[in-house]
Amino acid sequence: MAPHRRRAGVETAGADRGLRASPTPELYLNAFRRGLGERGYAEGRDYVLVYSFGDGDSRRLPKLAAVLVAAGVSVILTEGQYATQAARSATKTIPIVMTTSPDPVRAGFVDSLARPGGNVTGLASQPHELSGKLLELLKEIVPGLARVALIMPRSAWELFRAEMTEAVRTLGLDMVHIELALSDIDAAVRQAVLEKAQGAVVRGRPLFSAVQVKFMVERAAAHRLPAIYEARDFVEFGGLASYGVDAPDTYRRAATYVDKILKGAKPAELPIEQPTKFEFVINMKAAKALGLTISPTLLARAHDVIE
């Protein structure tokens, strides 16, 4: 009997297929494949992946979602709030599995984490809890840090403003909020320097293309602005440090949801899971270029050190 072939759609915001220097999206998708393989699935025999990438432009996502729906995929896998919103607007019947979503209840994707109640399930990314940790680590990395720039697109600021502001207050820092226009990253970095920020926290990763990730890192280095990011690909491009959810692990875990759905489970009844693995990454070359000395204690806490 011929194997039953199913199609899974993959829609991610902030991935650039043409830029191979970054491990995304290949690293993430390979983790997803590995997760499916652990459950007995073989690509080409049991499933076909249909890729659809937003390249950092959220305006493209509704059309891409419509294409996936028209292709008749069995499941849509999404990364980030905007990709999930686009998929949910395109279909109320095809199951949607989130790999990351900041607050799916507040966004209106699900009724509750325990009982989603619709066609969306998957993993929430808990970005609010990252706010304090990002600032704490930056303060440890940059001696005497007193004034920090919070650099992020408007939508990310609206999402994280309360948590970031409270974390800044708790740590006794002064802050300057800088709205990041991805079309003019250099302007945001220059403003941070003009505002006399001694370091920066950069957030909103799903909105960045790989090209923009690279450019963000380059401009921060050019202006000698120490910055910490919420995703490790910034560090792999030469950024100073990152702390965030272990993204490949979330993709691997998302395969569990896809497996259950393909076997007949309803997304409405599959509870939303929280991330269990986080990673702190330091780029020592970037630190040395900025004249920063990373303490042995801090290095020992890093999950990965890039030389």
List the CATH number of the domain containing 90. Answer: 3.40.50.2300
The answer to the question of residue 65 being in a domain is: yes
**How many helices and strands, by DSSP H and E, does the chain display?**
11, 12
pLDDT at residue 58, rounded to an integer? 75
The answer to the question of residue 1 being in a domain is: no
The answer to the question of residue 84 being in a domain is: yes
> What token pair was written down for 111?
């009724």
Tell me if the bond preceding 25 is cis, omega within 30° of 0. yes
C-alpha atoms less than 13 angstroms from C-alpha of 7 in its C-beta half-sphere: 11
pLDDT at residue 16, rounded to an integer? 33
The answer to the question of residue 34 being in a domain is: yes
Residues of the chain with pLDDT under 70: 1-25, 55-56, 126-128
Q: Do 132 and 182 belong to one domain?
A: yes
pLDDT at residue 24, rounded to an integer? 56
pLDDT at residue 13, rounded to an integer? 39
Q: How far is the C-alpha of 7 from the C-alpha of 248, rounded, in Å?
A: 21
> What token pair was written down for 186?
């250099």
pLDDT at residue 9, rounded to an integer? 60
Q: Do 158 and 273 belong to one domain?
A: no
The answer to the question of residue 162 being in a domain is: yes
Q: Do 55 and 110 belong to one domain?
A: yes
The answer to the question of residue 205 being in a domain is: yes
Q: Do 116 and 179 belong to one domain?
A: no
Q: Do 28 and 133 belong to one domain?
A: no
Beta bridge partners of 207: none
pLDDT at residue 8, rounded to an integer? 56
pLDDT at residue 128, rounded to an integer? 63
Classified as helix, coil or strand, 303 is coil
Q: Do 273 and 142 belong to one domain?
A: no
The answer to the question of residue 222 being in a domain is: yes
Outline where the chain has alpha helix (H): 26-37, 61-70, 81-90, 130-141, 154-170, 185-194, 210-222, 232-236, 247-262, 284-289, 296-301
pLDDT at residue 155, rounded to an integer? 82
Q: Do 163 and 250 belong to one domain?
A: no
Query: Contact, 84 vs 105, CB < 8 A?
Result: no
Beta bridge partners of 79: 12, 100
Number of domains in the chain: 2
Q: Do 159 and 226 belong to one domain?
A: yes
The answer to the question of residue 112 being in a domain is: yes
Range of the domain at 162: 127-244+279-306
pLDDT at residue 239, rounded to an integer? 97
Q: Do 183 and 195 belong to one domain?
A: yes
Q: Is 9 exposed, middle or buried (0-12, 13-18, 19+ CB in 10 A)?
A: buried
